[in-house]
Amino acid sequence: MFSTKLSWDYLDKNCYFYYYFRMKADLVIRNARVVDHAGEFFGGIAVNGEKILLTGTNEALPEGRREIDAEGRCLMPGVIDPHCHLGVNYPYDEDMRSESAHAARGGLTTFFLYIRNKEPSYIPFYHDRRAVGEANSCMDFGFHFGIQREEHIHEIPKIAEETGVQSFKLYFGYEAENPIGIVPATDGWVYAAMQRAAKLPRGKVSVHCENTAIATWLKKELMATGRQDLGAFTESRPAFCEEETIRRMIFLSELTGCPLYIVHTTIGIGPVLGAEARARGVDVTIETCPHYLTRTAYDKDLDMRAKISPPLRDEKEKEMLWEGVLNGNVESLGSDHVPFFPKKGEDLWKEKPGIVSFPWELPLMLSEGVHRRGLSLSQLVAINSYGPAKHFGFYPEKGSLNPGTDADLVLVDLDEEREVVHTGNGTCIYTGMNLKGWPVMTISRGRIIYENGQVDEDAFGQGLCVNRPGR
């Protein structure tokens, strides 16, 4: 389970030393169900400084300056959210502070922003966003950059070299005049970006998959009916729009050899297409989001404020997506967390798409996945921590419990039951739901940033950007 070369080297140099000389580690958690993507055992974890010192049985662990009795709760790698948007409506520095606090409450230890910049170069933007992020966030974070003009495509090798960002996003499904100001992609952009990203060691192209032209046509038809219900938005961008673009992107990925990451998959056929492509040797990762697994456009308590892009679907798609999660064809879970100003609820077609979900991603997956559908805890870690880390090239530093790696951990109480209450920015579509299984403690690089229902105020400004020049 923990047998990489890194861990054994580290064990040799550190753990025996600690064990035989009875030195104390900074933090030791015992009596836990220790879970990673590959399995679980009963014991705990010792942390020294920012790193995991040892993962093992209770007896194998050294004494700690601080000792925590997990009382049988689950100790897992912290949740890594590969997909959120901050600084879209509210100022970026405020979002990095307020939303990283919500992330800590949700058991996250790293989040990645899909972020856009319309200037010709991403280099100054990176330096600014990294500095402001590090001054405010209470946990580590990283970036994927949106391709918004041709210069960005030409700049890909330089961006990788000078910022460490090697992951780029292209957007379909947005018309030229969309309310969020996203510049939509062309197939030419995707092809050219893939050609360049394919040459990078961790290069990845992410795509928002929806056939823009068909969705634009259908939107006009649906608008003309006067409908304002949430289902009308869903029906204006049917499942086949998403399927068509997923197929087209897989074709281009196969052609260019560029690893492809399909963000926020809403349709049950998505994981199947991903698995078929992988069987041919194409590097395709399917991501879905908690909302597509837990809500539909026809849920009685939802209205136009639950507009999300791509849209919530129906029961059939929801259950087929779960099949993909349970059989391992979905390899990554992203929140698509985006705090917009309070939505007006006046016009379905003008409403901004997006919701917040940092605090509830883990409880939703524990309730609906682990408790209700028999998802194993290891499977959950595989998609909410290991998968995102691996697919973006950050494993095992992130997403593992290996000695010598970042001590990013979450302690989970599987039995705690609580109702969702939303107090922050953005729209929550889970208010009033009773969820079973909540994070009780979050540890970011060895520091406890959330415990007893409180986020550590001194943790803000301690987060680091994981994308660094030359990496």
Q: Which is nearer to Zn ion, 37 or 391 (CB)?
A: 391
CA–CA distances in Å: residue 324 to residues 162, 270, 365, 383: 37, 8, 14, 11
Report the nearest approach of Zn ion to the CB of residue 109 (Å): 20
Report the nearest approach of Zn ion to the CB of residue 174 (Å): 11
Q: Which is nearer to Zn ion, 361 or 406 (CB)?
A: 361
Q: Which is nearer to Zn ion, 25 or 209 (CB)?
A: 209
Q: Which is nearer to Zn ion, 336 or 397 (CB)?
A: 336
- Alpha carbon 112 to its chain centroid, in Å, reads 7
Report the nearest approach of Zn ion to the CB of residue 148 (Å): 14
Residues 223-260 as b or e (16 or more Cβ within 10 Å = b): eeeeebebbbbbbbbbbebbbbbbebbbebbbebebbb
Q: Which is nearer to Zn ion, 55 or 335 (CB)?
A: 335
Report the nearest approach of Zn ion to the CB of residue 208 (Å): 7
Report the nearest approach of Zn ion to the CB of residue 286 (Å): 15
CA atoms within 13 A on the CB side of 344: 8
Q: Which is nearer to Zn ion, 88 or 412 (CB)?
A: 88
Residues engaged in binding Zn ion (CB under 5 A) = 336
Report the nearest approach of Zn ion to the CB of residue 28 (Å): 38
Residue given tokens 């041919």 in the structure block: 280
Q: Which is nearer to Zn ion, 56 or 146 (CB)?
A: 146
Q: Which is nearer to Zn ion, 222 or 289 (CB)?
A: 289
Report the nearest approach of Zn ion to the CB of residue 337 (Å): 9
Hey, how many other C-beta atoms are within 10 angstroms of the C-beta on 344? 11
Report the nearest approach of Zn ion to the CB of residue 199 (Å): 26
Distance, in Å, from the CA atom of 242 to the CA atom of 264, rounded to the nearest integer, reads 10
Report the nearest approach of Zn ion to the CB of residue 207 (Å): 11
Question: Do residues 219 and 241 touch, judged by C-beta distance below 8 A?
Answer: no
What residue number has its CB nearest to Zn ion?
Answer: 336
One-character DSSP codes across 251-311: HHHHHHT--EEE-S--STHHHHHHHHHHHTT--EEEEE-HHHHH--TT-TT--GGG--SSP
Residue given tokens 């994308």 in the structure block: 467
Question: Do residues 354 and 308 touch, judged by C-beta distance below 8 A?
Answer: yes
CA atoms within 13 A on the CB side of 59: 0
Q: Which is nearer to Zn ion, 287 or 368 (CB)?
A: 287
Residues 436-465 as b or e (16 or more Cβ within 10 Å = b): bbbbbbbbbbbbbbbbeeebbeebbebbbb
